[in-house]
Chain A
Amino acid sequence: MEREIYGYRCRKCGQLHYPYRMVCRKCGENAHNEFDAEPLPREGTLLTYTELSSLPTVYEVQTLLLGIVELSNGIRITGQLRVAKPKIGMKVRGEVGVVRSETYDDYHGMIFREA
């Protein structure tokens, strides 16, 4: 099964959240588990980005491109970028891949490429 990054929709007011929170930010609904998980869309627009040269010690690369993307449904997400020339406003498409590897664990997250 393909991996997904999920948003969480409040069952009471329909507000979509990413990442998960336990009480709805919009309507304040706080009954337990009152959110439906739904996969986030993959298409989006790059809002801002940086090339980080001072990396956390677990990374075995020289630099890492990071960005904030506004997805087609308006939800924003922080992710890694694999694009040659990032530019604010460029269309990108995400896929789920390994974003951090530690000795015994791989962590997955959204990686964006030029659409």
Chain B
Amino acid sequence: MRGVYAVGIGITSFTRLEYPLSEIAAYPAMMALRDAGIRKVDHVLVANMGAGRVNHQTGLASAVVDTLSLTPAGADLIENGPASGASAIKHGFAAVASGLSDVVLVTGAERMREINNLEATDFVATLTHPIAEYVYGVTLPSLAAMFTRLYMEKYGVTSRHLAMVAVKNHANALLNEFAHLHQPITIEGILDSPEAMTNNPFVSEPLRFFDCCPVSDGGACVILASKDVAVKTGRPLVRLAGVGQATDTHCVHEREEPTDLLAVRRAAAKAFEMAGLGPSDVNVAELHDAFTILEIAESEEVGFFKKGQGHLALERGETALTGRLPINPSGGLKGKGHPVGATGVGQAHEIVHQLRGEAGKRQVGGARVGFTCNFGGFGNNVVCLVFVREN
């Protein structure tokens, strides 16, 4: 296999965007092409979940490749729910590593604010099992809530720990000009004060409003290329050193140990094995905190902390921007936003940004190894990536 490098990155604000989905995908791609100083692309991969259902547009990749005037390059749409982004990066990796392509442009985009919040929740709920989950009214927040309750019982995680994740990621998002939520919050305001139940009502008990990510529009792009191309760009060399993917049962109730996220554990192990590195080598990570509990659980499953001890590391400030292992310096899905198909590419964008040392106020000093975890369904399809700064 050839080495694969992230040579260009671009991103839109994650917020409500009033322009067409194909442009939300194309704009970060233009930025990434400029960033890399590249004009020729062999293949375009577009990551998206809802174009057909939410935006009434199919064949999105064909629209995007032409919007970018990159025809006759190949173009495919990759849909893997909220893990579409990292899935597309994985396919781009395979294409460059195998020699099939020298330059693959991976762009993720979603426009979910075209529908209201409840419709968006229902759209994402179509990921669940049609007759054994969806039909009962099951949504992603409700699956996360039932998981949270078990985690609380078993490991002593409390609402306060969940709120600490939200406070940390909102604070990080304040340092990210592209983040959706620029809203400082405090434990007092969302948990302890008399107004807390109004400020922060239950969405699906025990999960509250500030335990859930916002519904965002947005796009992000990473261009992957061979070493020859990467060296010519003159940009810092960031290698995509490991990719790993694993699946789990479609129905959450079929999992033997309901507090395990086996797909996260296995995807991370595969990515680390390919990279020849381990969790203790990581300097900065972007985890899929669509719900605050997931940042805690994933930080354990990927191997940063022992099972059941993620919330203790959080308490000690180890995952804060100034801590030993900053998690979600971008603000994560919680603060930066979650345009589902774009999220995995957005995570990779942040890690490349960090490893280049270009992240400004939220820069993690001296970061050489970065990690992302992109979580599809309720943990039934997970893709993890390991990036390494080489020069």
Interface string of A23-57 (1 = CB under 8 A from B): 00000000000000000000000011111111111
Interface string of B112-153 (1 = CB under 8 A from A): 000001110110010001011101111101100111011001
B73 at the A interface (CB under 8 A)? no
Assembly CA distance A52 to B204 (angstroms): 4
B278 at the A interface (CB under 8 A)? no
Residue of A nearest to B147 (CB): A48
Interface string of B200-222 (1 = CB under 8 A from A): 01111111000000000000000
Assembly CA distance A53 to B149 (angstroms): 16
B323 at the A interface (CB under 8 A)? no
Contact A66 B138 (CB under 8 A): yes
Interface string of A41-78 (1 = CB under 8 A from B): 00000011111111111010000101110000000111
B254 at the A interface (CB under 8 A)? yes
Number of interchain pairs (Cβ within 8 Å): 95
Assembly CA distance A39 to B188 (angstroms): 50
| Contact among B122, B205, B253 with A56 in the assembled complex (CB-CB below 8 Å) | B122
Interface string of A74-101 (1 = CB under 8 A from B): 0011111000000010000000000110
Contact A52 B139 (CB under 8 A): yes
Contact A56 B137 (CB under 8 A): yes
Contact B258 A68 (CB under 8 A): yes
A14 at the B interface (CB under 8 A)? no
Assembly CA distance A51 to B206 (angstroms): 8
Closest Cβ of chain B to A69, distance in Å, is 8
Contact B136 A99 (CB under 8 A): yes
Interface string of B174-209 (1 = CB under 8 A from A): 000000000000000000000000000111111100
For A59, what are the chain B residues with a Cβ–Cβ distance below 8 Å?
137
Contact A100 B136 (CB under 8 A): yes
A104 at the B interface (CB under 8 A)? no
Contact B137 A100 (CB under 8 A): yes
For B138, what are the chain A residues with a Cβ–Cβ distance below 8 Å?
66, 78
Closest Cβ of chain B to A91, distance in Å, is 18
Contact B132 A54 (CB under 8 A): no
Contact A66 B122 (CB under 8 A): no
User: Can you give 17 A-B contacts (C-beta < 8 A)?
Assistant: A19-B251, A51-B204, A51-B205, A52-B137, A52-B204, A54-B117, A54-B118, A55-B118, A66-B137, A68-B252, A78-B132, A78-B133, A78-B136, A78-B252, A99-B135, A99-B136, A100-B136
Closest 3 CB pairs of A and B: A50-B145, A19-B132, A76-B253
Using a CB–CB cutoff of 8 Å, the interface residues on chain A facing chain B are: 18-19, 47-57, 59, 64, 66-68, 76-80, 88, 99-100, 107, 109
